[in-house]
C-alpha cells in the first residue's frame, strides 16, 4: 500500500482527539447499523451527533424511545439522558464532527443494479462542510473500489475549498457486520475490519473503532475491506441456495432435508450447517452479492455461482406458494377463497425487521391467486410502505383457538420464539412449515407439510 506524506499537525491533532475521546463523532443513518454504533462510541466516551433524514427517529430518540425493538429502550434512554449525544436532521452540523461514519442503505434497483444514490448523496452532503482534520468512514456494503472511485470524488465534488485526501482529511471503509437479534454477538463484540485509502486513514479509523469495539483488524486497503464484506455475504447466499435447492429435490424424494442437515452436522470438521427457508430477507444476503455481479461485468467476467444462487433463492417464495396450493388441493380446496394465515412477517426470528422479507412476496402471490390472507407476528404490528410493495397495508392479527380453527391453512414463514407453536399445532387443521418450527410444538393434531 502506498504511503502518503501527511501534514503532521493535521494527522497528529486528529489522532490526539481520538485518543483523548474528545473527537466529536457524527453517525449518518440511525438505523440497524448506525444506532448501535452510536451507542458503542458514546459508551466509549465520545461526544456523538446522530444524523438522520427521518424526523420520527429524531423525535423518538429525544423521547428515549427505541424504534428498533431488538435493541430495547435502554440504549435510547441512555443516549437521551446523556449530554454527549444529540440526534439531528440538520446536516450542516457535519462541520462540527471530527469523525463521520456513514451508515446508509445500498439497495438494488428493479433490474438488480446497484443503487448508490444514498451513499453518493451523503458524500456530497459531507463535502459541503468538509474541512481539514476530519475522518470519514463508509460502512455501507458495496462493490470493491466504491470508496476510492466514487465516494471520494463525490466528497470533493461539493467541497468549498481545495483539500487533499490523506493529507487534509482521511477516508476509510469499515464494513458493517450487524446481525439484528443475534444474542451471541453485538456491535461491540463483532470484530471490525478497517481499510483506508492510505496508511494514515487506516491508522486513524482503527484507533477510533478500537475505542468502542473489542477487536479491530486493519487491512491493507479499502478494497480489501470492501471485498471481504462481499465475500462474507456471497458465501452465505451460495450455501443457502444450495440447501434450498436440495430441499426441493429431497422433498420430491420424500426425504426430510432438516433431518439430513442435522445428520451431516454431526461431522466435527469440513461441514457447516445452513438451513433452508421461504426465501432470503434482510438487507445483506438478498442484495449485496449482486453488487459484485454488476461490477464483474466491467471486467468481462461472469459470476455464475452468485447468479445461480440468486436464481434459486429468488424462486423460493414461488415454491412455497405451490406447496400451499398442493396442500389445499389435497383437501379439495382451491387457493381462491381459502383463508390463509402467515406466521411471521419479519425476515428472521425474534426481530421486527421486514427489509426484503420473503413473507410479503408470498402474501402478495397468494392474494393474487385469490386467497384471503392475514398474518400474525408478535414483533411486526403492521406492514406499510415497504420498498418493493409500497401499496401493501396489513396488520397483525391475534392468535386464538377460534381463529385458528376457522382457517384453511397456516403458513409458517418465520419461527419467532414468542409464537405459541403448541396452540397452532392443536387448533390449526393444515400447516405448511418452511422453518421446521412445528418440531417445537407438543400434541400436534394438524396435518403438517414441510416446504
Check: CB of residue 431 under 8 Å from CB of residue 414: no
CA atoms within 13 A on the CB side of 268: 0
Residue 85 forms beta bridges with which residues? 48
User: How many other CB atoms are there within 10 angstroms of residue 249's CB atom?
Assistant: 11
**Three-state SS annotation for 362-403:** HHHHHHHCCCEEEEECCCCCEEECCCCCCCCEEEECCCCHHH
Residue pair 201/233 in contact (Cβ under 8 Å)? The answer is no
C-alpha cell at 154: 463525490
C-alpha cell at 311: 436464481
Pairing relation of β-strands 382-384 and 393-395?
Answer: antiparallel
Spell 215-226 as b/e; 16+ CB within 10 A means b: ebebbebbbbbb
The Cα 416–Cα 212 span in angstroms is 31
Residue 90 to residues 17, 52, 79, 96, 359: CA-CA distances in angstroms?
Answer: 24, 8, 18, 11, 36
In three-state secondary structure terms, 145 is coil
Catalytic residue among 25, 103, 284, 324: 284
What's the grid cell of residue 447?
A: 396435518
Active site residue 284: yes
Query: 116 near 102, Cβ under 8 Å?
Result: no
State the Cα–Cα distance between residues 105 and 120, nearest whole angstrom: 11
Contacts of residue 11, Cβ cutoff 8 Å, sequence gap at least 6: 170, 200, 204
Residues marked active site are found at: 284
Amino acid at each position: 500500500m502506498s504511503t502518503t506524506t501527511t501534514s503532521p499537525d493535521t494527522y497528529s491533532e486528529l489522532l490526539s482527539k481520538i485518543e483523548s475521546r474528545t473527537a466529536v463523532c457524527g453517525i449518518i443513518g440511525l438505523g440497524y447499523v448506525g444506532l448501535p454504533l452510536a451507542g458503542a462510541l458514546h459508551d466509549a466516551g465520545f461526544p456523538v451527533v446522530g444524523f438522520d433524514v427521518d424526523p420520527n427517529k429524531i423525535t423518538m430518540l429525544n423521547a428515549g424511545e427505541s424504534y428498533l425493538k431488538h435493541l430495547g429502550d435502554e440504549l435510547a434512554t441512555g443516549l437521551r439522558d446523556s449530554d454527549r449525544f444529540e440526534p439531528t436532521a440538520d446536516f450542516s452540523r457535519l462541520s462540527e464532527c471530527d469523525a463521520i461514519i456513514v451508515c446508509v442503505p445500498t439497495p438494488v434497483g428493479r433490474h438488480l443494479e446497484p443503487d448508490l444514490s444514498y451513499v453518493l448523496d451523503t458524500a456530497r452532503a459531507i463535502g459541503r462542510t468538509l474541512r481539514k482534520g476530519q475522518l470519514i468512514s463508509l460502512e455501507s456494503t458495496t462493490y470493491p473500489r466504491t470508496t476510492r472511485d466514487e465516494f471520494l470524488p463525490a466528497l470533493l465534488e461539493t467541497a468549498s475549498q481545495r483539500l487533499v485526501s490523506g493529507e487534509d482529511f482521511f477516508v476509510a471503509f469499515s464494513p458493517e457486520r450487524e446481525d439484528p437479534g443475534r444474542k451471541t454477538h453485538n456491535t461491540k463484540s463483532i470484530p471490525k475490519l478497517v481499510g483506508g485509502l492510505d496508511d494514515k486513514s487506516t491508522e486513524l479509523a482503527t484507533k477510533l473503532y478500537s475505542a468502542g469495539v473489542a477487536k479491530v483488524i486493519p487491512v491493507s486497503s479499502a478494497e480489501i475491506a470492501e471485498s471481504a464484506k462481499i465475500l462474507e455475504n456471497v458465501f452465505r447466499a451460495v450455501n443457502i441456495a444450495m440447501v434450498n435447492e436440495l430441499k426441493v429435490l429431497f422433498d420430491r424424494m420424500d426425504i426430510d432435508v432438516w433431518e439430513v442437515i442435522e445428520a451431516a452436522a454431526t461431522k466435527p470438521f469440513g461441514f457447516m450447517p445452513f438451513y433452508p427457508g421461504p426465501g432470503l430477507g434482510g438487507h445483506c444476503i438478498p442484495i449485496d452479492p449482486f453488487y459484485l455481479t454488476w461490477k464483474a461485468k466491467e471486467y468481462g467476467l461472469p459470476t455464475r455461482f452468485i447468479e445461480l444462487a440468486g436464481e434459486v433463492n429468488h424462486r423460493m417464495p414461488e415454491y412455497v406458494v405451490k406447496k400451499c396450493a398442493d396442500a389445499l388441493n389435497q383437501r379439495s380446496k382451491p387457493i381462491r377463497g381459502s383463508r390463509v394465515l402467515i406466521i411471521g412477517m419479519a425476515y428472521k426470528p425474534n426481530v421486527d425487521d421486514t427489509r426484503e422479507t420473503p413473507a410479503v412476496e408470498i402474501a402478495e402471490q397468494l392474494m393474487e391467486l385469490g386467497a384471503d390472507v392475514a398474518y400474525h407476528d408478535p414483533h411486526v404490528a403492521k406492514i406499510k410502505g415497504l420498498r418493493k410493495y409500497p401499496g401493501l397495508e396489513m396488520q397483525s392479527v391475534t392468535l386464538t383457538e377460534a381463529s385458528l380453527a376457522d382457517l384453511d391453512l397456516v403458513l409458517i414463514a418465520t419461527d419467532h420464539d414468542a409464537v405459541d407453536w403448541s396452540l397452532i399445532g392443536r387448533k390449526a387443521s393444515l400447516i405448511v412449515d418452511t422453518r421446521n418450527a412445528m418440531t417445537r410444538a407438543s400434541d400436534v393434531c394438524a396435518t403438517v407439510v414441510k416446504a
